[in-house]
Chain A
Amino acid sequence: MNVIKDRVEVAIIGGGISGVALAYELSKRGVEVAVFEKNFLGSGSTGRCGGGIRQQFSTEENIRLAMESVKIFERMKEELGWDIEYYQGGYLILAHTEEEVKQFEKNVRLQRSLGLDVQWLERDEINDIVPELDVEGIGAIAATYCPTDGHAYPPKAVWAYADKARELGAHIYEFTEVKGIIVENGRASGVITERGETRSRFVVNAAGAWSPIVAEMAGVKLPNKPYRHEIMITEPLSHFLDPMVISFHDNVYFRQTMRGGIIGGWGDPEEKPGFNFASSLKFITTMARLLRKYIPALKPVRVLRQWAGLYDVTPDAKPILGPVKEVEGFLQMNGYSGHGFMVAPMCAVLLAQYITGEPLSIPLEPFSVERFEKEVRGEVSVVG
């Protein structure tokens, strides 16, 4: 086994979409980086996620991160040289109650003010987007639709970033677990791994649901909690479904992959925090009932697999990005709360800008962990 580099500029803990995207953005800027992943790239939450890429959020911070990320996804094939199965089939978000209608009206106003092309659909217009949807059966009374939302195949996005980063000189160590963070005189100055030590000027915590454990290695407390989120996929069908369909009311989302399978998840409101990867009968039976209700034509379609991944949830469902006051040079890139895949490309740009001292495209303060010291207003548009 090759020996790890003893010195780099930036040590990144975690080889999910965040870690490899940051490795690429920094390598592109001529900064030497090393990524440490305890398993294989994308084995944590990225490779388990639904692959949705949406911009329809309820807070300015999340909308801006997502809109900038979509611009990056749009040019990813050209920039990274990989077909990541990116498809802009839109997101259809269903409203079931008057209360939701009011919230969605507010969301759409905010989204439009930030330049997002989002459409308002009345009940009888929903089938224009997805004719197979049983609008009456599910009790939808309105919807919003953003045609530039979409989805991609997450493992390929990870490999695309990783391959390009390596080509530009990044060191990416899979199956290499970080056991400790070196802190000297209040400054993060490297990592201790099971294969030796690497000294660095910055240490980035991109460990997803494991981020609080990693932060603890530097004596830093994070408020993130891991929540299991289950998901399933059916056998492949001919292409019929363009958008991702979401209902916050039913806590459900589903879409069709480029291979043809329907992939979808349901968030159990009774889920307790913990590192639980078990597949449950409760999930698959509930998900089957929801799919049967949403698109009755799916009844004879067979489910191939179910699995679980972890949401890395913060109290306001917004990511934690940037420095912490306790340890200088220890940067956070975590807490995505179930929508990390879709915003990671822009978060990587911001952290690369911060590290190299470039002007920031979006200020980092709203994403600082210090915000939790005061009262926070959270993202409400989440499938939790």
Chain B
Amino acid sequence: MREDQEEEIVCRCEDVSLKELLEAIDRGYTTLDQLKRYLRIGMGHCQGRTCLRLAAGVLARKLGKRVNEIEWPTVRPPILPVEISKLAEVDERDKR
């Protein structure tokens, strides 16, 4: 990997570079769940839509695995960020 490529941003919400991701994997954080907690990738507004897929690819290459062998963190609701005022008005019995 070229040096300028390592400065590329993997996670825009939490401002994490490819270099930081590679270093974290080298330090032994070798699952997406651990990388999420260590680097905060997937914890931002995009809910991991952008960064986790990129991270999964990088991780797979590093570990010599296929991308579909990389375990995905649990998807957390709400699927998109929702205002507190809107959630407060949802009737919890409404199960549609």
Contact = CB atoms under 8 A, between A and B. Distances in A.
Q: Which 5 A-B residue pairs are closest in the complex by CB-CB distance?
A: A288-B87, A302-B81, A305-B76, A288-B88, A299-B85
A192 interface: no
Interface in A218-258: 234-235
B31 interface: yes
24 contacts: A40-B31, A281-B90, A282-B92, A284-B77, A284-B87, A285-B90, A285-B91, A285-B92, A288-B84, A288-B86, A288-B87, A291-B84, A292-B84, A292-B88, A298-B84, A299-B83, A302-B82, A303-B78, A303-B83, A304-B43, A304-B47, A305-B77, A306-B77, A307-B74
Interface residues of B, number: 26
A40 B34 contact: yes
B33 A40 contact: yes
Interface string A288-329: 110110000011111111110000000000000000000000
B45 A47 contact: no
Contact of A302 (B40, B76, B83, B92): B83
Interface in B58-91: 74, 76-78, 81-88, 90-91
Nearest to A261: B43
Contacts of B38: 155, 159
A47 B34 CA distance: 10
B37 interface: yes
A286 B92 contact: yes
A71 interface: no
Interface SS, B side: loop
Contacts of B90: 281, 285, 288
Contacts of A289: 88
Best-surrounded residue of B34, B40, B47, B91 (most CB of chain A within 10 A): B34
A304 B88 contact: no
Interface of A: 40, 42-43, 47, 155, 159, 234-235, 259, 279, 281-282, 284-289, 291-292, 298-307
B33 A43 contact: yes
Nearest to B45: A235
Nearest to A289: B88
Contact of A300 (B33, B45, B77, B84): B84
A302 B83 CA distance: 4
A47 B47 CA distance: 18
A292 B82 CA distance: 13
A301 B84 contact: yes
B47 A305 contact: yes
A299 B76 contact: no
Nearest to B36: A155
Contacts of A40: 31, 33-34
A300 B82 CA distance: 9
Nearest to A47: B37
Given A47-B37, A235-B45, A285-B87, A304 B81 contact: yes
Given A279-B77, A284-B77, A298-B84, 17 more contacts: A43-B33, A155-B38, A282-B92, A284-B87, A287-B87, A288-B85, A288-B87, A288-B88, A289-B88, A299-B84, A300-B83, A300-B84, A301-B84, A303-B87, A304-B44, A304-B81, A305-B77
